[in-house]
Structures are given as structure tokens and as C-alpha cells.
Amino acid sequence: MRHIRSIARPHVVVIGAGWAGCAAAVSAAAAGARVTLLERTDMILGTGLVGGIIKNNGRFTALEELRAMGADLLLGAMESCVLHEGISFPGHKHASLYDVTRIEPTIRELIAAMDIDLRLRSTCIGFTQEAGWVTRAHLQYGEVVEGHAYIDATGTAGPAANCRTHRSGCVMCVLRCPTFGPRISPTRSTGVNEAPAGLTAATSGSVEVLKESLASDIASELQALGHVEIPLPKTVQIDVLPHEKSCQQYSSKAFYDNLVVLHNGAAKVMVSYLPLELLRSIPGLAKAKYIDPYSAGIGNSVRFNLITPHDKALRVIGLNNLFCAGEKVGLVVGHTEAILTGMLAGHNAVRVGLRAELLQLPTSLMCGDFLEYVANDLKENRSLQNKYTFSGSVYFQHAVKQGLYTVDIAAIQTRVKESGLTGIFRSRLVGS
Ligand SMILES: Cc1cc2nc3c(=O)[nH]c(=O)nc-3n(C[C@H](O)[C@H](O)[C@H](O)COP(=O)(O)OP(=O)(O)OC[C@H]3O[C@@H](n4cnc5c(N)ncnc54)[C@H](O)[C@@H]3O)c2cc1C
């Protein structure tokens, strides 16, 4: 039986090339696997194409833990695109902002350099499984990809039908479902239930405005400092409630009283959406033009309408060689969070091919504690309204209480060393 034997060089098939899928591909390749990365659009990085905030609050600690664990190649490439470092904005300290205009080709170069077989415009529509093992990934136009282990990193954003059910329909975000077809969760084809009762979707928390469409003094300040806060006139009220937002870390009063704008190559405005005429009534924004979503005057992409049940190694419950990563893991928000889950899933996919014991991260690390906290809270908090991130909301408060949050890099490296995991995500498993 091919599924019982250890494979000399496992072939790992990653579906979805957002931050989670890219991290999974990089860590599986670093461990020595042959890797195929399938992406439905013509660009990698998914929602990471319109984000950019890293290292804010606990994301600093998590990112340095990941670097110490061997994620340095991917993180280094990401950081080579940083425009601003060490900035503070309401409720957030020591943030860096990467340049969304440079990030995609930079990460694509790394993917090519690692010999990862990236297949764009390749939508996976489902899996074949035999006795608890996924044996094939089926693509939209009939092609089949066979691997030894599979990672579903297809995210939760969209598709248009979901945006229509929960809000105003397609608002033309970077996922571009009308062009490339819907996001599809291939895990669903296995019969795994990804729709727990009581789960309600949430709206993405920021929009992008063309920097050149701002008044020149605001554009200059934004470019120089990385952020501006513009007090909102009384006539402009932001009506998205905290629990309706994907990014609960940006739900404090300061984000309702001020327009918080960050410079990520574009002007990243920290509201879910705002009617264009209201946006243009704000001083300095009379000529503002939305560039993502194009219809951000009406709504934003809708996310978090599914949770993939998994164990501590990120293996999907009921399937021996299928892993999940990124937002699918369950109400987990952010690039750093996607990279963490991708790294772990990619590494464990290789281990499954080699029939080695799967890696679980200890709770002495913020990364391990985060996964444990999310799993426990999802079990206990049946309202399913929390979102989880290193940078704020319920998990960051918990991490501070546990003494896990620190910006002392030497202390973080020691913590990783004591857990025996230094360089784990760069260690070659194949042939070892
Ligand atoms: C507007 C916006 C701004 C944000 N800003 C920030 C920020 O500043 N900082 C931060 O940390 N986080 C931010 N986030 C959140 C962050 O981008 C995400 O939580 C994280 O990057 C999710 O990564 P992912 O890989 O799980 O999913 P995604 O980014 O959604 O990637 C999934 C990928 O899978 C592909 N795909 C889907 N279905 C299939 C299929 N069947 N076959 C093949 N491919 C498929 C999609 O096309 C996509 O490329 C932002 C999110 C949004 C929407």
C-alpha cells in the first residue's frame, strides 16, 4: 500500500498561495520535499496583497520566534519590502509596514529560487480520498495532481456568493472572483464539516485609497511618517460594529473617532468601508479614490465563514495526509498568523510523507500558546464571535498576562533554543 510506506522524497501539494500557502511551500521545500503550489489567480499572496502591517504588538514576538525557528528566508524577503519601521498608531506599537506594490514579485522570486512548482490560474475544486488518505487534487479543467501530502490554504475571503449573503455582494476586491472564479475549499469535498453552528462571517477591516488622490500635505506626511490620524467630523460615523469586523484589534474608540491612515505603498485606511461622499467630506480627502476594494464606498470582502477542524499538528481531523493553514484554521487573522500556520503545516506535511512523528509547538512559545488558546477558545466560546491575532483583542491580552509578549530578541531566541526548536523550519528532513 503506497500510503503505509515511508516515501524517500515526499511530494507536497499546497492549495492557495496566500501567506499561509507560500509559507507552507517554503517550509516543505526547505525540509527537502518536492512542492507544487496551486493558486487560482494570476498573483500570489491573496489578501496579503492589500495588507502590510507586521510586527505590531505581539506580532513582533511571534515573528522573531518564527525567525529563530528557521522561517528567516521568507521573513527576510518580506522585510526587504518594508517601507516604515517602528511606527506607533492607536493601540499598536513598533509596527512595520511592507510595500504592497513590491511584495508579490519579491516573494515570487523566493518561490522560484526554492524550486517550488508554482501553478497560477489553477483552481483546485476537490480531492479524491481512499480510506482516510487524500490521493488526488482535482483542478478546474480536469487536470489531476497526485501528491503524498496536501495542504489546504485557500483562505476564507469571498467568494461573491458569500459577500452577497452577508453584505452587499462583490465589491471588486483583490481576490477578483468575477475574473478567476470563486474561492473553493477543497477540504469540503472530503465531507469534513467546516461550517460549525453559530458561525457568522465578518467584514474585512481596511480599504486602500490612491495615495496621489489625497491632499498633498497629507500625502507627504503619510509618506514621511508612515501614518496620519485625521479627526472625523461629527457628520461621519463609522457604523461597523466590533463583532462584525474581521480585525477586532482595530475596534477601539480611536478608530471610530479618527480616520487612521497607514502608508503601505498605497494609503491604507483603517475602516471596513465608507460611502465615497462621506470619505470625501473629510478634510484633505475631497478627491479620494478607492483602489481596493474598488467599491469600498459600499462594502468590503467578507471572511471567516468556515473553520476547518484540525489537531495540534494542523492535520485535518479524519484525514491522515491533509493539513490546513491560514485563516481556515479558525478565525485567525493576519499575515504573521498565516505564516506561522503555513510553516507548521508545510513541515508536518513532509513528516507525514516520511512517516515521522508530527511536530507540535509548545506553549512556552507564543506561537504554540496561540494555537492552543485558539483551539480551546473555539471549543468553549460557542458564540464564535472572537477573532484571534497576536496584535490585539482577546489573544494579545492573554499573551501579555502570560508574560509571553516581549520585544527582547535575545530573550526570544533563548526561549526558542530552550524548546529545542532553533532552525526547525529550515532543517532538512528528507535524506536525514
Ligand atoms: C483588506 C485586508 C487588509 C488586511 N491587512 C492586514 C495587515 O495589514 N496585516 C495583517 O497581518 N493582516 C492583514 N489582513 C489579514 C491577512 O491578509 C490574512 O489574515 C492572511 O494574509 C490570510 O492568509 P491566507 O493565506 O490564510 O488566505 P488568503 O490571503 O485569502 O489566501 C488564500 C489564497 O488561496 C487562493 N485560493 C482560494 N481557493 C483556491 C482554490 N480552490 N484553488 C487554488 N487557490 C485558491 C486565493 O486566490 C488566495 O490567493 C488583511 C486582510 C484584508 C482582506
Instruction: Judge whether 203 and 167 are in contact, CB under 8 Å.
Output: yes
pLDDT number for residue 255: 87
Whole-angstrom Cα distance, residue 17 to residue 182?
15
- Of ligand 1's atoms, which has the minimum distance to the CA of residue 182? 38
Nearest of 251, 372, 364, 264 to residue 310 by alpha carbon: 372
Nearest of 60, 165, 180 to residue 120 by alpha carbon: 180
CATH of 11-201+303-426, picked from 3.40.50.1000, 3.50.50.60, 3.40.50.40, 1.10.3720.10, is 3.50.50.60
Quick one: average pLDDT of 418-423? 98
pLDDT reading at 364 higher than 60: yes
Place of cell 476594494: 293
Instruction: Judge whether 98 and 264 are in contact, CB under 8 Å.
Output: yes
- Of ligand 1's atoms, which has the minimum distance to the CA of residue 38? 43
Nearest of 278, 262, 271, 279 to residue 225 by alpha carbon: 262
pLDDT number for residue 4: 57
Task: Give nearest CA residue, ligand 1 atom 3.
Answer: 51
Instruction: Judge whether 290 and 273 are in contact, CB under 8 Å.
Output: no
Q: Which residue from 14, 42, 47, 324 has its CB within 8 A of the most atoms of ligand 1, so it is best to mutate?
A: 47
- Of ligand 1's atoms, which has the minimum distance to the CA of residue 333? 19
Q: Which residue from 14, 154, 393 has its CB within 8 A of the most atoms of ligand 1, so it is best to mutate?
A: 154
Calculate what percentage of the chain has a pLDDT beyond 90. Answer: 88
pLDDT number for residue 3: 59
pLDDT number for residue 1: 40
Contact 202 CB / ligand 1 (< 6 Å) = no
Task: Give nearest CA residue, ligand 1 atom 1.
Answer: 206
Name the CA dihedral angle for 50, 56, 61, 65, rounded to a multiple of 10 degrees: 10
pLDDT number for residue 382: 65
pLDDT reading at 251 higher than 80: no
Residue range(s) of every CATH 3.50.50.60 domain in the chain? 11-201+303-426
Point out the least confidently predicted range of 166-175, 239-248, 320-329, 332-341.
Answer: 239-248
Quick one: average pLDDT of 259-273? 97
pTM of the complete model: 0.98
Contact 13 CB / ligand 1 (< 6 Å) = no
Contact 20 CB / ligand 1 (< 6 Å) = yes
Quick one: average pLDDT of 372-379? 92
Quick one: average pLDDT of 198-215? 94
Confidence of residue 350 (pLDDT cuts 50, 70, 90): very high
Measured between alpha carbons, how far apart are the two ends of the chain, in Å? 24
**How remote is the CA of residue 5 from the centroid of ligand 1, in Å?**
35
Contact 73 CB / ligand 1 (< 6 Å) = no
pLDDT reading at 386 higher than 60: yes
Give the torsion sign (CA, 415, 419, 423, 424).
negative
The burial of 207, by beta-carbon neighbours within 10 Å (0-12 exposed, 13-18 middle, 19 or more buried), is given as: buried
Q: Which residue from 54, 104, 335 has its CB within 8 A of the most atoms of ligand 1, so it is best to mutate?
A: 335
Task: Give nearest CA residue, ligand 1 atom 30.
Answer: 155
Whole-angstrom Cα distance, residue 177 to residue 158?
8
pLDDT in tens, 110-133: 999 999 999 999 999 999 999 999
Contact 338 CB / ligand 1 (< 6 Å) = yes
Confidence of residue 229 (pLDDT cuts 50, 70, 90): very high
